Structure formats: structure tokens, C-alpha cells
Amino acid sequence: MKKAFIFTSLIAVVLIVITFLYKNSGTDNSQVVNVYSSRKEELVRTLFDEFTKNTGIKVRYIIDDYSQLLSRMENGGGADLLLTADAVNLILAKKRGLLSQVDSEILKSVIPAKFRDSEDYWFGLTKRTRILVYNKESVDPKNLSTYEDLANEKWKGKILVRSSTSPYNRSLIAFMIANNGFEKTKEWVSGIVSNMARKPSGGDTDQIYAVAAGEGDVAIVNSYYFARILSSENKKNVIDKLGAFFPNRNDHGVMVNISGAAVTKNAKNRENAIVLLEFLVQVVEKGTMHKRRNLLNISDLTVDDVENITKLANQYLKKEAANSHILENKTVINLFFEDSTRTLASFEIAAKSLGANVVTLPIRSSSINKGEDLKDMIKTLNAMNPDYIIIRQKNSGIVNMLAKNVSCSLINAGDGSSEHPTQALADYLVISSHKKQIKDLKVVICGDILHSRVARSNIRLLKMFGAEISLVAPPTLICKHFPEVDSVHYSLIEGIKDADVIMLLRLQKERMNNSCFVPSEKEYFHLYGLDSQKLSYAKPDAIVMHPGPINRGIEISSDVADCVILQQVEFGLAIRKAVLHYYRPC
């Protein structure tokens, strides 16, 4: 999708959910926060319980229809925090003067500007898309394209959608008006009504079941309703009949809406409300409350993750980041089974600068040397309840296995020849600082590809953003099992022609087991070492990168060795601060 629009100021909506009685106890108000929520109780109760467990602040709440909650607030109700299922409700509350501004660096650092109010009156918590669910037996997905196309006569008697009173549909209409104008949207709504398979009935889940039952061919629903059925073990007979389609991928993109929260203007427990809001943001940021997120591979990252982490890193570079003591009272264990200067030092400095207690375990004097199994060692350390274990291991794949044995956040600082995700993030940040965009950049990775975890992580990360990747290496050091790679070259000059970025890799002798992968270092430098003469074949503004440690006279000459390599070190520290920040415990 190219864009995600949330246009909610055009309409006022009512969100109908269940009513839950407000329970007022004699709790000390200094340890209380009062919440009005139009989100269902089953979606928030566990979160509130966990918040109370972590902070000692009791959450008292009312669950009701949004219009009823708004009426309560206008008549002096005692809410400190407002939770809604649709951004339009937050905008309406702001327009009526019921909300207050919140200046929180945590909220600003985690939530992208497009998902919060420009004046900090409200903040988005979760995103959902309005997608199409279709019957596989009656619809070829090649015939699906856009929301607009659903008004075409070819869909007559085939469209299922819930009532127009739904806030989700009203927001979709606002989205269509923003993209196509009022008159065209009016015609589109008329076309949708004409193409309905039946009179609107029930919610989004009912529309999905109706498609499976053959009552219609295509339903317009929120994505998470389909995901909920998809994850249900006893719904296979339904799911097998259905497919999901994200419309408008080739123009303005699928419609995205948000749920969100705001501190009220008359909050009597304002500070507690802000603490709860920051807690909710950190919980949602990790995707789930009970499952800590690990950073093991690039596949663990989404585009949003990468953008959020690099945004935080830029704030640390500019010394604008949130709370410098964000890891106060947290414990970080560094467990490095391979030698390291840059990665270990930067993780230590990053953790200490954020206020963490840091333990760097000396492997040579650990119980590993007494015969203790690595898995038992990890379980032992995990029993000490650290918040992070940062590990570098010489055997590929071990980090993924160890992740199953810890309850804390596990961060891969180098996994054999497998991956090194934080180095790739640092390299992405450096490239982004020199180039306007990653898309279509020619990135050439040259050297010991076969043994390089840095190469693997960079290939996967940069391809996420549309880079053109070429590999250059001797035949003995190339790895051809990269479907993401665009080309492979055995000549350095041929490979770096018109390159925007050149990444050099050292010969990793420690992984070669005394095998002869190159005739000699001298010959390797002659053929694959980069000097100023060979660099002239790249673009004039090409940048030369190296993850370190560099070996002058082997893979790089002194006349090009100082390009952006120290900047990679500087940005690596900022990235590791950002990673610790982003994966912090709630």
C-alpha cells in the first residue's frame, strides 16, 4: 500500500458495544485512574490488571457506547482517560473541548506523528485496515482491485457489509471523500447499496461467515476480524473457503483506521492517566503483553519496526530522545562467546547510558569451561530475571534455539554466519543519512559472503526497502542461496560499476578451519581489494562501508578506508540505544 489515510474530522460516529457497570470503591485517589472506554471489556481488562500489578495504581472503568460516554464527560463525569475504537471519536471529543494536551517523550518517540494528534490531544494505539474477504469458489482474486470497483454492476447482488451506522463504514466513506471528492463518493455509496447481497445485518464477523455460507461473494470488513477467525482452530471449514484482499494497492492504498486514547480535560488523576497511557503504548508497541519480543533475525522486523527504531536512533544522535533513564532498574546481560570490540562496547555504553544495570559475563571464567551445557547456562541466567540477554555465538542457529528457553528479551549480537541484525540497522541508518531513499540504490557487497552474517542481514533488510543488491566475491567465497540478490559478479570492477554503496567484508579466517579459500592475501587484495583507482568505477558520490574490523591491504586500502566507517561505529551506538529502548520491558 502506498498511503494510509485516516480522515475522521468529516464525521461524528457512534460506537455500539456492551455496557459494563462502573465500580467505585473507597480506594485512595492517589492510586486510582478512572477510564471511560468504548473498547470491549475483554480487550482491556487484562491490560488494566497487568497495569495495576506493575504500578499499584487501580483502574476503575466504565465500558459503554461512545455517545453515552461523551454525554457523561460533558456533564462532569469523572473520567481521567478516554479509550475509543475509532479516531473520529477522539477528534470529536477534542472539538468539544473535553481533552487535554499531553507532553510525553515516550508517547512521541513510539507513536509516529501521523497516528497522533498534531497538538498532542490524543494518541493512536492500534491500527486496522478495511479489507475485502472473498469466497474462493466464486471469486478470482485477479478480478478484485479497488473499493471503487465494488460499485461496478458486475458485483450486483454480491456485496456484504454491515450497517451504515457503523463507525468503521463512516470512516471508510470519509476516506473515500478525501480521495475522490463528495460527489463521486455519493455515487459510489449508491452503487454499493445497489450491489448488496442482502440488507445489512450483524457485525464484520457475521459478514465473513455469510461469505463462507455463499450468501454473498465479497465482504468489506476490518482485517482483525478475519485474523481472529484465521487463528481459531475449530474454524478450518470456514477459513478454507475464504481469501483476504487488500484493495487499492496501486493507487492511494488501503484504508487504515486507529483506536486510541486521550487524557481528559477535567482529569483528577492526570499523572496516573499519563502513566497508564504510556503503559498501553509500550504494551501495544510490543504487539502483546505476555510475549516479550526478541530481535534474532531481520525477519523479526517489519518496515514499521525499522522506521521506528531508526527514528529513535536519530533522536539519540541529536540528543533529543526520550527519558535517558528509560532502562533504570532494568538488567542487561552481555554474553559474548566471540571476540568483539564495536558491538560489545556499544551495547555496554548504550545500556549504561539508558540507566540499566549491565553485567558482561566473562566467558573464559564462566561455568561453560567446567562443562556446563549452553542451554543450562541460559536457563540459569534467565532464572536471575534479567530484562535482556544480548548474545554473540559462533555457531549459526544457536540463538534461535536459546530464545525458546528465556522469558526476557533476547537480542542477537552476531549468530555465527547467520545474522547480525543490529549491524544491518546501523548500516541502513548510515545509508539513509547519505542517500534520499533506499529504493533502487545499487548496493554492492564484496568480500567473504560465504561466512558473513553482516551480508545476510544487510541483504534482507535493504531488500525490504527496494535496494538493488549485487554480490562480488571469488567463487570459493560466494553464497548463491540468496533469492533476494539481483546479480553476482566475480570481478570487483565489473561488480561496482555505477554502484551507489559499496560494502566491504573482511576474510573471516576464524570460520575457514584452515581451508584454502583464496591463494594468498596479496592476490586477494589485487583482485578484490578496494583502492581509489577501482573506486573510480563506482558513482562519484558512492559511499564505502565496512562493518569492521578492517584489514588494510587485504580488503581495503588506506586511501579509501576512512570513508564512512567511523560513522558506522557512531550510528551503531545510536542504533543499539534505540533497540534497547524499542524492546524495553513494559
Dihedral class, residue 577 (left if φ above 0, else alpha if ψ from -120 to 50, else beta): alpha
Is residue 233 domain-shared with residue 137, that is, in the same domain? yes
Query: Is 15 among the domain residues?
Result: no
Residue-level pLDDT at 586: 58
* The last residue of a domain, from among 245, 276, 298: 245
Q: Are residues 167 and 272 in the same domain?
A: no
**What CATH number is associated with residue 151?**
3.40.190.10
- Burial (CB count <10 Å: 0-12, 13-18, 19+), residue 16: middle
Q: Do 387 and 584 touch, CB atoms closer than 8 A?
A: yes
State how far the Cα of 341 lies from the Cα of 64, in Å rounded to an integer.
56
Residue 183 belongs to domain spanning: 127-245
Residues sharing a CB contact under 8 Å with residue 556, sequence separation 6 or more, in sequence order: 504, 529, 530, 531, 544, 546, 550
Distance, in Å, from the CA atom of 456 to the CA atom of 531, rounded to the nearest integer, reads 24
Residues 432 and 544 placed together within one structural domain of the fold: yes
Q: Let me know: does 205 contact 225? Beta carbons within 8 Å.
A: yes
Do the domain assignments include residue 302?
A: no
Kindly state whether residue 38 falls inside one of the protein's structural domains.
yes
Identify whether residues 433 and 510 lie together within a single domain. yes
Q: Decide if 314 is inside a domain.
A: no
Query: Does a structural domain hold residue 250?
Result: no
Co-location of 459 and 516 in the same domain = yes
Say yes or no: 99 and 134 in one domain.
Answer: no
Collapse the DSSP code of 472 into the 3-class scheme (helix H, G, I; strand E, B; otherwise coil) and give the result: strand
Q: What is the pLDDT of residues 525-541, one digit of tens each?
A: 999 999 999 999 999 99
All three cell numbers of 191, joined, read 452503487
Mark whether 279 and 407 lie in a shared domain.
Answer: no
Give the number of domains in the chain. 4
DSSP line for 278-337: HHHHHHHHTS-SSS---B-SGGG--HHHHHHHHHHHHHHHTT--S-TTTTTT-EEEEEES
- What would the pLDDT profile of 290-307 be if each residue is shown by its tens digit? 344 789 999 888 888 899
The mean predicted confidence, pLDDT, of the chain is: 87
Backbone phi, psi, residue 555, to 5°: -105, -10
- Three-state SS for 59? strand
Say if residue 439 is in the same domain as residue 365: no
Assign residue 516 the CATH number of its domain: 3.40.50.1370
Are 120 and 149 part of one and the same domain? no
Instruction: Say whether both 390 and 427 belong to one domain.
Output: no
Whether residue 94 is found in the same domain as residue 155: no
The verdict on residue 570 lying in a domain is: no
Does residue 295 lie within any of the structural domains? no
Dump pLDDT digits (tens) for 401-443.
888 888 889 999 999 889 999 999 999 999 999 999 999 999 9
**In this predicted structure, which of 190-199, 231-240, 298-307, 561-570 has the lowest mean pLDDT?**
231-240
For 19-23, 94-98, 308-312, which range has the lowest pLDDT when averaged over its residues? Answer: 19-23
Antiparallel, parallel or unpaired: β 159-160 and 218-222: parallel
Nearest Cα to Cα of residue 318 among 571, 565, 580: 571
Same domain, 189 and 136: yes
Chosen domain end from 418, 436, 465: 418
Which of 14-18, 220-224, 265-269, 421-425 is the least confident region? Answer: 14-18
